[in-house]
């Protein structure tokens, strides 16, 4: 398979885990390149369900190598637990999972700062973060106050450095009205995690360079989604990394011209967790129906996801930003019972028609969707295995999404299982 970047084209939770799982069959390596354990990829194999936060879902396939790249922020205790859980379920981890020595560490004070800044009483607006410390960890990386996974290898020096940072961050925590952390309670689990993770921490660049030179195929696994990208999302209601395709290069060290194609994952409707504008949001029975049928609860925090119609303005913006070669459309089956379905084709804002995504979040918040309505198909699609066998209205809906966005459909998912996947061009 060509080297492929797979990204989320909406606000995350597009069902990337399942698409990655299906595509992993044909690759040698899977690389995570941004985000941290704010992500949650759910994969169902037979009766088994796996929710992965940091480890690429390629780990569920025998013989595939998985890399956590330099662009990821790693909570060592969370990673240790994820490895232990998979080991308990009989997955071989050592020799298959590699963590970049350049990836930054998420510390307990990052989590506490995230929680303190998200208190409704805190100054400024809340973002609705996952409270995993992601923003503060990336903040330290940019401020050059971070520590990296490679620093953990010299445990003694590492713990000394962490101790000094706990003292500094305690002053900030107290100023924010939160409690100071007890250094020894932080250092002891960190020491344990550092020892446990030692065999996994390497310079991942030579591995990736060798893989590219040997013609091996790599799948770059994006987390979150385009509208949560720190630069191109609905800032400030975004995550703190580049969730768009460009992040695959900076977050792994693989150069742009070694990437062959981009697959963008979209839900057949839209969801969003956390705060921020969402023009096609439905706060009515249809929204409740989508939430119920789509089991729309966050894989990481369990929070209910806000649900709405498919937004072609968002999808066109994502297609352009990511250079999407194909859509992987997920959860088509969630629309199975609807009488009619709406598609947002443009917005109306301040008295004018808007075709392109506004850069200003306040203007975006004033956008009202202009809808096109199409008939539903009122029958189950979950057991369909060939595109031609889908109800005519379901095919018409999919083809309309492709037409409105100018991107071909490569794959369609009609249920959580691997078997409920229609491979069209991928
Ligand atoms: P953070 O990444 O925890 O800082 O959260 C920032 C925003 O991104 C919030 O709106 C979160 O709900 C959202 N977010 C972070 N990770 C995910 C994800 O994996 N899926 C969907 N939303 C996410």
Pocket test for ligand 1, best of 273, 305, 361 (most atoms within 8 A of CB): 273
Question: Does 123 score more than 70 pLDDT?
Answer: no
Q: What is the structure's pLDDT at 296? A: 95
Is the Cβ atom of 34 under 6 angstroms away from ligand 1?
no
Is the Cβ atom of 130 under 6 angstroms away from ligand 1?
yes
Q: What is the pLDDT of residues 183-197, one digit of tens each?
A: 999 999 999 999 999
Q: What is the structure's pLDDT at 417? A: 87
Nearest Cα residue to atom 11 of ligand 1: 129
Q: For residue 157, how far is its CA from the centre of ligand 1 (angstroms)?
A: 33
Is the Cβ atom of 273 under 6 angstroms away from ligand 1?
yes
Is the Cβ atom of 135 under 6 angstroms away from ligand 1?
yes
Pocket test for ligand 1, best of 229, 239, 300 (most atoms within 8 A of CB): 239
Domains in the chain with CATH codes: 4-96+203-423 (3.90.170.10), 104-201 (1.10.300.10)
In angstroms, the Cα distances linking 127 to 39, 43, 142, 156 are: 16, 27, 20, 36
Q: What is the structure's pLDDT at 198? A: 98
Q: What is the structure's pLDDT at 115? A: 97
**How large is the average pLDDT for residues 191-209?**
97
Q: For residue 233, how far is its CA from the centre of ligand 1 (angstroms)?
A: 12
**pLDDT > 70: what percent of the chain?**
99
**pLDDT > 90: what percent of the chain?**
91
Q: What is the pLDDT of residues 217-252, one digit of tens each?
A: 999 999 999 999 999 999 999 999 999 999 999 999
Is the Cβ atom of 39 under 6 angstroms away from ligand 1?
yes
Is the Cβ atom of 274 under 6 angstroms away from ligand 1?
yes
Angle between helices 108-118 and 155-175 (to 10 degrees): 20
Ligand 1 atom closest to the CA of 273, numbered from 1: 12
Of residues 101 and 121, which shows the higher confidence score? 101
Q: Does residue 257 have an active-site annotation?
A: no
Residue 122 pLDDT level (bands cut at 50, 70, 90): low
Ligand 1 atom closest to the CA of 276, numbered from 1: 10
Q: What is the pLDDT of residues 411-421, one digit of tens each?
A: 999 998 888 99
Q: What is the structure's pLDDT at 40? A: 87
Instruction: Single out the catalytic residue among 13, 75, 151, 229.
Output: 13
Is the Cβ atom of 132 under 6 angstroms away from ligand 1?
yes
Three-state SS across the chain?
A: CCCEEEEECCCCCCCHHHHHHHHHCCCCEEEECCECCCCCEEEEECCEEEEECCCCHHHHCCCCEEEECCCEEECHHHHHHHHHHHHHCCCCCCCCEEEECCCEECCHHHHHHHHHHHCCCCCCCCCCCCCCCHHHHHHHHHHCCCCEHHHHHCHHHHHHHHHHHHHHHHHHHHHCCCCCCCHHHHHHHHHHHHHHHHHHEECHHHHHHHHHHCCCCEEEECCCCHHHCCCCCCCCCCCCCCCCCCHHHHCCCCCHHHCCEEEEEEECCEEECCCCCCCCECCCHHHHHHHHHCCCECCCCCCECEEECEEHHHHHHHHHHHCCCEEEEECHHHHCCCCEEEEEEEEEECCEEECCCCCCHHHHHCCEEEEEEEECCCCCCCCCCCHHHCCHHHHHHHHHHHHHHCCEEEEEECCCECCCEEECCC
pTM (2 d.p.): 0.96
Instruction: Single out the catalytic residue among 41, 53, 104, 110.
Output: 41
Question: Does 399 score more than 90 pLDDT?
Answer: yes
Q: For residue 160, how far is its CA from the centre of ligand 1 (angstroms)?
A: 31
> For the purposes of burial, counting CB atoms within 10 Å of the CB of 172, is it exposed (0-12), middle (13-18) or buried (19 or more)?
middle
Q: What is the pLDDT of residues 140-172, one digit of tens each?
A: 999 999 999 999 999 999 999 999 999 999 999
Is the Cβ atom of 14 under 6 angstroms away from ligand 1?
no
Q: What is the structure's pLDDT at 298? A: 84
Is the Cβ atom of 241 under 6 angstroms away from ligand 1?
no
Residue 32 pLDDT level (bands cut at 50, 70, 90): very high
Nearest Cα residue to atom 9 of ligand 1: 129
Q: What is the pLDDT of residues 68-105, one digit of tens each?
A: 999 999 999 999 999 999 999 999 999 999 999 999 99
Q: For residue 415, how far is its CA from the centre of ligand 1 (angstroms)?
A: 24
For the chain, the maximum distance between any two Cα atoms, rounded to a whole number of angstroms, is: 65
Q: Does residue 295 have an active-site annotation?
A: no
Ligand 1 atom closest to the CA of 38, numbered from 1: 16
Q: How many CB atoms lie within 10 A of CB 317?
A: 20
């Amino acid at each position: 398979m060509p080297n492929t970047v797979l990204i989320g084209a909406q606000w995350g939770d597009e069902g990337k885990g399942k698409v990655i799982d299906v595509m992993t069959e044909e690759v040698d390596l899977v690389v995570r390149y941004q985000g941290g354990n704010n992500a949650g990829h759910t994969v169902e194999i037979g009766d088994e369900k796996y929710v992965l936060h940091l480890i690429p879902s390629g780990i569920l396939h025998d013989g595939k190598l998985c890399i956590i790249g330099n662009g990821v922020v790693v909570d060592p205790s969370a990673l240790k637990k994820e490895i232990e859980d998979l080991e308990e379920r009989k997955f071989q981890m050592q020799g298959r999972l590699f963590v970049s020595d350049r990836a930054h560490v998420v510390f307990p004070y990052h989590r506490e700062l995230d929680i303190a800044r998200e208190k409704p009483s805190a100054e400024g607006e809340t973002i609705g973060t996952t409270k995993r410390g992601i923003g503060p960890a990336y903040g330290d990386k940019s401020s050059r106050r971070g520590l990296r996974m490679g620093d953990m290898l010299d445990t003694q020096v590492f713990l000394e450095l962490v101790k000094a940072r706990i003292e500094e961050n305690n002053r900030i925590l107290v100023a924010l009205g939160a409690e100071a952390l007890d250094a020894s309670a932080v250092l002891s689990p960190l020491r344990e995690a550092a020892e446990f993770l030692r065999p996994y921490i390497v310079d991942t660049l030579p591995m990736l360079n060798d893989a590219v030179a040997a013609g091996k195929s790599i799948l770059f696994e994006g987390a979150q989604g385009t509208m949560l990208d720190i630069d191109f999302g609905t800032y400030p209601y975004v995550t703190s990394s580049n969730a768009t395709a460009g992040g695959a290069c900076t977050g792994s060290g693989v150069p742009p011209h070694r990437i062959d194609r981009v697959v963008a994952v979209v839900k057949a409707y839209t969801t969003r967790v956390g705060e921020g504008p969402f023009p096609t949001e439905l706060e009515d029975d249809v929204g409740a129906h989508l939430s119920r049928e789509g089991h729309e609860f966050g894989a990481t925090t369990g929070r209910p996801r806000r649900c709405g119609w498919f937004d072609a303005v968002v999808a066109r913006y994502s297609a352009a930003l990511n250079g999407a070669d194909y859509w992987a459309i997920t959860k088509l089956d969630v629309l199975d019972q609807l009488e009619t379905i709406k598609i947002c084709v443009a917005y109306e804002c301040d008295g004018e028609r808007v075709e392109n995504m506004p850069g200003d979040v306040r203007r975006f918040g004033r956008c009202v969707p202009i809808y096109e309505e199409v008939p539903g198909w009122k029958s189950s699609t979950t057991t369909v295995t060939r595109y031609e066998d889908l109800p005519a209205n379901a095919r018409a809906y999919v083809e309309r999404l492709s037409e409105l966005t100018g991107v071909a459909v490569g794959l369609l998912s009609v249920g959580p299982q691997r078997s409920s996947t229609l491979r069209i061009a991928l």
